[in-house]
Structures are given as structure tokens and as C-alpha cells.
Amino acid sequence: MNLESTLEALLFLSSEPLGAEALADATGAELHEVVSSLERLREHYEFERRGLVLRELAGGWVLSTHPDAEPAARRLLARPRTPALTPAQAETLAIVAYLQPVSRPEIARIRGVNAESAAATLLERGLIEEAGRSQFGAVLYRTTELFLKLFGLNSLEELPEPSEFDPAPELEAELRERLLQAGEARAGA
């Protein structure tokens, strides 16, 4: 990848202006090469009349939208955003993702608290869906295509390995106990 492409990628990743020195350090290029490449990149965006512009701002460089796109951007960003998941919703979603199909009573046993509200919100947002019924008649849940899309996964096989999770010792003990209890309850069912 050439220097201009690398700089463009770094600027795309950063929400803050990046100084030429920081970009030189990151790329391993000479400062004068970085400055020249940034100027060429800025000229390229201007010549091509792209939707992005490269600007010097607050002592650094930043990619931003072209001023002509402002009205459309305001309309897009004025739409209500989906609120972030609460800890209870995130925990419930993780349980469904890793143990699916799983029932709400199983989720409640694992979490140690009622999962009705969290599951209802996840259903409403389209992150989980019904996947049949357990032998006891409880609704089973699984994740949806929207879940995969929002978390950047092609399939459930791409979920991180639970063994890679490195919690604090106190949290690990609590989680281990809750999972053992859920496993015993599932085995006895």
C-alpha cells in the first residue's frame, strides 16, 4: 500500500485531527514525505470533487464531509438514533448468542435476575427472535441476521472464544458459579 493510501486509512480511523509527526511515526515515513503525501491527497479530493475533504484543523489533519453535503448530513443525523444497549440487555444478548436456542427462564437462571424486560427490548429491536419452544413450552430465542450485521459477523462461528475473555478474578468466580448452576439446571431438565 502506498503512503497516501495508508495516510487516508489512518485519517479515516481517527475521530481527532492527526499531526504530521504522529502520522510519520505511525507509517515509518519521513516527515517531509508525509506532508507531501497529505498535500497530494488533499488535491486529489478537491480535483475529484469527492464527498470528503482533507483539512488542516487544530494543528492536525482530518477527513471531513464536503461542505456541500451538509444539508443531507443534517437530515440524516437528525433522525432518532437507537439507544445503546443497557448492561442487562447486553448480558442477555451475549447469553442468547452463545447458548442459542435458549429460553427466558434459562437466561434468568444464568443472569440471576428476571430477563423479561431485556429480552422484550432485544426482540423489539430485532436482535433476537423466537426459535420454537422448549420441551416445557418456554419460548426459545436465537440471534438474528441483524445481530450478525451490527456486530460485523458473517456467522456465529466468528463470535469471540469465551476463553479469550479475561475478567477480574472476582467477576470470573461469580460468572463461573452462575454458569455452573445454569449448566446443572440444563442437564437436569
pLDDT, tens digit (0-9, with 9 covering 90-100), for 4-17: 999 999 999 988 88
What would the 3-class secondary structure string for 124-142 be? HHCCEEEEEECCCCCEEEE
155 near 148, Cβ under 8 Å? yes
> Reduced to 3 states, what is the DSSP secondary structure of residue 130?
strand
CA-only gyration radius of the chain, Å = 24
CA 127 to chain centre: 13
pLDDT band per the 50, 70, 90 thresholds, residue 189:
low
Q: What is the CATH number of domain 87-188?
A: 1.10.10.10
Locate CATH 1.10.10.10 in the chain.
Answer: 3-76, 87-188
**Tally of CB atoms within 10 A around 104:** 20
Name residue 103's beta-bridge partners. Answer: 140
Query: What CATH topology corresponds to 3-76?
Result: Arc Repressor Mutant, subunit A (1.10.10)
The share of the chain scoring above pLDDT 70, in percent, equals: 89
Q: How far is CA 102 from CA 20, 94, 123, 143, 164, in A?
A: 51, 11, 14, 10, 23
Contact assessment for residue 137 and residue 104, using Cβ atoms and an 8 Å cutoff? no
pTM: 0.51
Summarize pLDDT for 114-153 with one digit per residue, the tens. Answer: 888 999 999 999 999 999 998 889 999 999 998 988 888 8
